Amino acid sequence: MENRTILLFGQSMLLSLLANSLEQSPNLRVIHETSWSEAAARVVDCKPDVLIYDLDSSPSESAILPVLYENPHLLLIGLDVETNRAVLIAGQETSSLTLERVKEIVESETRIEQ
């Protein structure tokens, strides 16, 4: 397994427990930030593979979407402590996308592939 960087953002007990669990893996580098400005700076500096954040303390969509746009490889996982669920958001990038291909993606729910 290759080494991966995981960035955690938030202050919940669940994120702290998750950080402790993930740190046990020798292939994972875990970074935990409690402010969005510090987390956004870490995305630029460290190029994490995964950003896991508390949905309750998450920044607005207007802050998260530019991060995903600039880092399409980044997996975003939002954790909702109250409902015990996780939301995975994954960006994808392609160098050329025709209107016909966009239509195919919408109609078939397939992934964007180069």
Pairing of strands 75-80, 85-90: antiparallel
- Tens digit of pLDDT for each residue in 19-66? 999 999 899 999 999 888 898 899 999 999 999 888 777 666 557 778
The pTM assigned to this predicted structure is 0.75
- Closest Cα to residue 33, out of 80, 86, 45? 45
Q: Is residue 64 part of a domain?
A: yes
- Indicate which CATH number applies to the domain containing 85: 3.40.50.2300
Structural domain that includes position 44: 4-108
- Tens digit of pLDDT for each residue in 55-112? 777 666 557 778 888 888 888 888 887 887 777 776 665 556 666 666 666 666 555 5
Asked if residue 58 lies in contact with residue 78, where contact means CB atoms within 8 angstroms, the answer is yes
Strand stretches in 3-100, DSSP E: 4-9, 28-33, 50-54, 75-80, 85-90
d(CA 44, CA 23) in angstroms, rounded, equals 21
Q: Is residue 114 part of a domain?
A: no
Q: Is residue 113 part of a domain?
A: no
In the chain, how many domains are there?
Answer: 1
Name the one residue in this structure whose structure tokens are 């875990």: 30
Q: Is residue 26 part of a domain?
A: yes
